[in-house]
Amino acid sequence: MSLKHTPLDNLHRELGARMVPFAGYDMPVQYSDGIIAEHRHTRAQAGLFDVSHMGQFVVQGPGIAATLEGLVPADLEALGENRQVYTLFTNDEGGVRDDLIVTRWGAEEFFLVVNAACKDEDRAWIESHLGTGQQLRELEGQGLLALQGPAARSALAQILPGVDQLMFLDGGYFQLGGIELYVTCSGYTGEDGFEISVPGDHAAALARRLLGLAEVAPVGLGARDSLRLEAGLCLYGHELSPTITPIEARLNWAIARSRRSDAARQTYPGADVIARQLHEGTGRQRVGLRVLGKRPVREGQVILDGEGNSVGEVTSGGFGATVDGPVAMGYVASEQAAVGTSLAVDARGKALPVEVCALPMVPPGYRRS
């Protein structure tokens, strides 16, 4: 099957990116400076990511907030205009079909950003629940850029005056040379930053303009993954799946309190399972793991207790360039999930010592006020 390309494909190649298949797209995993340098540059200044492979949907029509609340556990009725929320599509067993960001564009209009690997299924899932007068429109060919890091705010403000007034999970429309952009104060690195939805035929020009700023450098999927791992952020297909519930993933905060107590609003799939787990707890939990050595642990490796018994599995692992050592996340039996618990990971027959650590592993840099 041929790979799809984002609007920045030519620019990636011009910049010397190493391209790899990802979710059906040809995507940059790193540039010439390498993953560690890109990671550290994002933490220190500002990294520019191409996330145009993500699905961008607009859903609208009478009663659309209630319709979407039938699919996710967020309180969308109370969500303010140009505000966004992280939420989850769930299944009847309480598992996660996908995680997504929902932004309210108007009284009966929402903007959704979903994972690339799930977007076709997500579109069909949403459309199967739409009612009379409701519709979904996919922004096909639309670019999506993420500018992340402590210098992202001052850098973007040089191009889009006023954008620095956006706080975490705010959104707004901006004009650049007659082109309309929608900018949100969000991202998936744990840093302050923005995501910019831009018409595809203008995406490369915007990226070039941003890369012309001294504090901005291109960053690929490799550093995006190590950054989100240090930030304790779940990746669909790793920490989240149809067989993992939000409560097992320690995403209790993603279940709106207003949707927990009102039985009439527990309309999303698996609400009964999730409500029970909120009350009773779960048999396993997502944890951070600090590797007590230099050898990294990898996805799929078995986690062992002090007696060598299997108590879980690694879901993501790699080198954390900010903490300067190997880090990981995984699922362990709840009685082994306390911070400071000593465990081991079976790496091809060798037991590598690890310790359960607090998440996130680096302090978040979100600008909330």
Classified by CATH at the fold level, domain 283-360 comes out as: Elongation Factor Tu (Ef-tu); domain 3 (2.40.30)
Q: How many CB atoms lie within 10 A of CB 265?
A: 18
- Rounded Cα distance between 274 and 271, Å, is 5
Please tell me the pTM assigned to this model.
0.97
Architecture, CATH, for domain 9-52+141-230: 2-Layer Sandwich (3.30)
Type of residue at 64: I
Per-residue pLDDT of the chain (369 residues; tens, 9 = 90+): 799 999 999 999 999 999 999 999 999 999 999 999 999 999 999 999 999 999 999 999 999 999 999 999 999 999 999 999 999 999 999 999 999 999 999 999 999 999 999 999 999 999 999 999 999 999 999 999 999 999 999 999 999 999 999 999 999 999 999 999 999 999 999 999 999 999 999 999 999 999 999 999 999 999 999 999 999 999 999 999 999 999 999 999 999 999 997 777 789 999 999 999 999 999 999 999 999 999 999 999 999 999 999 999 999 999 999 999 999 999 999 999 999 999 999 999 999 999 999 999 999 999 998
Tell me the domain boundaries of the chain: 9-52+141-230, 283-360
